[in-house]
Structure 1
């Protein structure tokens, strides 16, 4: 039953992530442009260049903020990672041949 729940949550997270691939790519591009613009703003010496780079940064920041659905995509990617991690964690403890040995060894030591 636990595997079914993980599968269901994983599928929902996958569909949400796939639905938000476009905004995620667009947000990444906007953040790269914003980073480049900020670096150029800090390097420039003239007032006109600083105003131009600052205006570009503000415009790109406004565009980046409009990609709010990308945050849902990031949350879905994180949930998908957690589901993957839990899925492998439960599989490794169930199929570990040494876990039964350790449990039996503890039981034998209790009886002595």
Structure 2
């Protein structure tokens, strides 16, 4: 039953991711361009160049803001990753190891109590 729920959640997350793929690509391109404009803005010497790079950066920032639905796609990708991790998860049982330091502590404490 758990696998059916994971399959349903993974399918919905995949559909959300695919439907927002265009806005994800647009957001990535806008952020890369914004980073490049910021680097040029910081290197600019004159006030005119700083104003020009600032205006261009503002336009690109508005373009990136137009791709806000990409955040829904990113959430879909995260859910898809979590479903993948849960699907391939192996069950582990708590097996008590012989190297537990507290076992020897209990033995030594019992020996000290005898005296």
CA RMSD of aligned residues (A): 1.5
**Structure 1 partner of 2:60:** 60
Count of residues in Structure 1 that have an aligned counterpart in Structure 2? 96
Q: Return the offset for 1:46.
A: 0.4
The answer to which structure has the higher helix fraction is: 1
Distance, in Å, in 1 between the alignment partners of 2:56 and 2:82 is 37
The equivalent of 2:108 in structure 1 is none
Q: Deviations over 1:10-58 (max 9, x none)?
A: 0000000000110000100000000000000000010010000000000
The alpha carbon displacement at 1:68 in A equals: 1.1
Q: Secondary structure at the match of 2:88?
A: helix
CA distance in structure 1 between the aligned counterparts of 2:68 and 2:35, rounded to whole angstroms: 19
- Aligned-partner Cα distance in 2 for 1:34–1:73: 21
**What is residue 3 of structure 1 aligned with on the other side?**
3
* Structure 1: gaps (5+ residues): 104-112
Question: Following TM superposition, where does structure 1 have runs of at least 4 consecutive aligned residues deviating by more than 6 angstroms?
Answer: none
Cα separation, 2, equivalents of 1:49 and 1:62: 20
Structure 2: which 5+ runs fail to align? 97-115
Partner of 1:107: none
TM-score (norm 1): 0.81
CA separation in 2, counterparts of 1:37 and 1:30?
10
Say whether residues 1:31 and 2:20 are aligned partners: no
